[in-house]
Amino acid sequence: MARKDVVDSLIATYRELNLQLRPLGEAKLAAAGPDGSVKDVLKDLRRREIIASQQLKAMLMAEASGDTPAVVDASLIDSGDDLPARVLLSEFGTARESILAAASQRSDEELSRELNVTEGPRSIDALLQSLVESDRVDRERIKRLLAAS
C-alpha cells in the first residue's frame, strides 16, 4: 500500500468513527452482545493506539541516540474501563494524531529504514501498515456490533 494511502486510511478511520459513533448514546455504545460492545472495541483501539504511539516515540528516540528502543510496558496503560465511549474515541484520536504528526516529519528513507526494536527489525512504515490492518478489523467488528443491536 502506498504511503499516502496508508496515511489517508489512518485519518479516515478516526474521521469515520467520529461521524458514525459520536451521535450514538453511551447506552447504545456500551450495550453488550455476544461479541462484546462497541465500547469494548473503542477500548481496544485506544489501548493499541497509545501503545503504538509510545513504540513510535521509542523507535525515534533510539534512532537518534543509536540505542535499542526501550520496551513499552503495555501493562502501565489504563484499560479505559471507567471512561465514557466518547472519551475513549477522543483519546484514540489524540494518539493517532501524535503518530501521524511524527510520521509526517520523517523522510521516505527514515520511514522505510528498519530499526532494531525489542521484537526485531521493524520500520515505521511497517508499524503504520499494522495499524491500518488493525483498523480494518476493528471497523468491521463495529459494523457487525451496530447491525446486531
Residue 28: which CATH number? 1.20.120.450
49-85 pLDDT, tens per residue? Answer: 998 998 888 877 776 666 666 566 666 677 788 899 9
**Is there a contact between 84 and 37 (Cβ–Cβ < 8 Å)?**
no
> Taking the chain, what is the end-to-end CA distance rounded to the nearest angstrom?
34
Low pLDDT (below 70) residues in the chain: 63-76, 116-119
Range of the domain at 104: 3-148
Q: Note the pLDDT of residue 18.
A: 95
pTM for this entry: 0.87
Q: Note the pLDDT of residue 88.
A: 96
Q: How many domains does the chain have?
A: 1
